[in-house]
Each structure stands twice: as structure tokens, then as C-alpha cells.
Amino acid sequence: MNDLSSSQRRATALRANQQCYDSLAAAHAPLCKPASDAELANPLRTIDPLGWLGPSIAGRAVLCLAAGGGRQSTLYASAGADVTVVDLSPAMLELDRQAARERKLSIRAIQASMDQLDMLNASEFDIVIHPVSTCYLPDVGPVFHEVARVLRPKGLYISQHKSPVSLQASCHVDASQRFSLEQTYYREDPIPVLNDSNAAGRRLRERGAVEYLHRFEQLVGGICRAGMVVEDLIEPVHADDIAETSSFGHRAKYIAPYLRIKARKLSSSTTRSQLLLLPL
């Protein structure tokens, strides 16, 4: 483990990751592409193929957290939601503003880190949408507590995360045509930068980003400890049976790259249930 304090680790990650995403925005990277006309024609189907959001989000207050880039905010606004987008990168937020102007949509864009949302009111949102980004902070606990704070009772939190096993594993096969576990699971230091950037690596890791592995207990357990209950969890399927060796689709046959979680904030009148252990 490194000798940096938690505040130093956080500051280093924020600085590097803001620069990373400012650069991605300037380069028009795939993560910075706005939604297409076809996707916007039926935005709810695009953003919610599982039906987790219900038949309509019209009029709902939605926070797109760490979700700049011009895609998430326009899709949710096109579905009728009252959208706020928060992101660390000013360049990514400018893409949201540009996309909103072009689509004649109204969004609120705020530059902030996902673990410090003091500018947002308690119980302000019906839904918090959180694409892959928790890996960019060393501690996810404060993120989940902020999400729970800004959600209304019984509000939804839908998040996607890089699988900890995926962050442990190599991005290419070895001489035996196998992927291997290369990084320790219990760690405070960031995941090392990839030395070789093959197709899978370019898809899974952002060049220049500082990324942390968060264990399942920190992700799922952290959401629960913040005052939310997990209602569903999936590992989106990206496996491709005909993909080339060491490509993203080939690797996904063996290692699920992401997990997607549906959680709901407990109502103010709800108390946590106690686990009773009965004798056998």
C-alpha cells in the first residue's frame, strides 16, 4: 500500500481524472458521443431496457451523476425528466450544454465530484442515474451517502460499476490462452496503469485515469449501509462467441466487465429488519 493519506489519494485521483476526461472530450472519444436520433426517438427504451424505471419518467427529478458527455442528460431529458447532470470535468459538461442547445432541451449542469454534492438539496431527486465512475475515487462510501441524502424516500438509485474481478484480471491471454488474475483484491492503492493497450484494454481502461478496485462488499454493502436496499443486480452480457482473441468481446466470455445495480432509498418510516438465527 502507498503512504498517501486518504485525502491525498482523493486529491490525486480527482486531479488526474479531471484531466483525463477533459482530454477525452477534446478528442471526441467514444465516451463523449451524444445520443443518436434513433436512440432519442424512444429514449426510455434506450436508457431502460430492463424496465427498472417503470412506464414513464415524465416530470421526475433525475440526477445524472458523474455522467457528463452529452449522452445521459439528453436521453433522460428527452424522456420528459427534469434533469441535473453533475460531472468533475468542465469539458464533459460543455458537451451536455451543447447537446441540450442542439436538441432544445433544458438541463442543469454542475461541476462537482460525485462524493461532495453540497450544492444539491436533501431529498431533491426521484432518481439518481450513475454510469461507470465509482472506480475513479479511492473511497465509495461517501458517494453512496451523498446519493442517499439527495434521494427522496423510496427514490431509485441505478448505478453501474467496473467489476472488481475485471479490474484484477489481465486484458490479454497468456501463452496458455488464458486470462489471469494480476492484481490483489484487498488494496488501497490504485490499479496499475496498463503496460500494453490491446483492444480489450482500450475499452476497459481510460488512458491517464487513476482507478481503484472496489470489492463487492464495498459496492453492494456500501449501498445498503447508506440507507438503500438493493432490489436487483445484473452483470450486462458483452460476450461475443466469434470475437478475436483478447478482444473486449472475447474477454467478456470469461470475465463480466460490469455490474449494474438497482437500489431504492428506504422510506423515512422504514426500519431495518433484523436477522434472526433460528436453531437447527
**pLDDT above 60 (res 44):** yes
DSSP code at position 130: E
Grid cell 448505478 in the structure block, residue: 159
| 170: pLDDT strictly greater than 80 | yes
Residue whose C-alpha cell is 442543469 = 108
Whether 229 and 242 have beta carbons less than 8 Å apart is answered as no
C-beta of residue 47 within 8 angstroms of C-beta of residue 67: no
Instruction: Report the CATH architecture of 6-265.
Output: 3-Layer(aba) Sandwich (3.40)
List, for residues 241-270, the tens digit of each pLDDT value.
999 999 999 999 999 999 999 999 998 655
> How is residue 181 annotated by DSSP?
B
Question: How confident is the model at residue 276, as a pLDDT?
Answer: 45
Note the pTM of the prediction, 2 decimals. Answer: 0.93
| Residue 18, SS3 per DSSP | helix
Question: Is residue 15 classed as helix, strand or coil in its secondary structure?
Answer: helix
**Structure-block grid coordinates of residue 80:** 420528459
pLDDT in tens, 198-241: 888 888 999 899 999 999 999 999 999 999 999 999 999 999 99
Distance CA 82, CA 210 (A): 32
Q: What is the pLDDT of residues 100-133, one digit of tens each?
A: 999 999 999 999 999 999 999 999 999 999 999 9
Question: Can you give the pLDDT at residue 13?
Answer: 97
User: What is the rounded average pLDDT of the residues 3-21?
Assistant: 93
